[in-house]
Amino acid sequence: MRVTSKGQVTIPKKVREKLGIVPHTEVEFVEESGRVYLVKSKSQDNPFESLLGAGSVKMTTDEIMALTRGEK
């Protein structure tokens, strides 16, 4: 495996599948005892975690359903 002039490498398909790495997955390089490991970032375990508490719409479920259905 070679590093490109931009410092990029291709993660082999078997490794991506085993680690569950898909496009836009955050990964980290961890150095330990002179070795470097590629690990999937723990912050990405739940892609919706960063959105918790972000909602600010004060609508009932019925109002939201009517809005999405195009009802007036």
pLDDT single digits (tens) 49-70: 667 777 777 888 899 899 899 8
Mean pLDDT of 30-47: 82
The rounded mean pLDDT for the chain is 85
* Amino acid residing at 12: P
Please determine, for residue 44, whether its predicted confidence score (pLDDT) is greater than 60: no
How confident is the model at residue 47, as a pLDDT?
67
pLDDT at 43: 63
- Beta-carbon contacts of 32 under 8 Å, excluding residues fewer than 6 positions away, are none
Determine contact, residues 26/41, Cβ cutoff 8 Å: yes
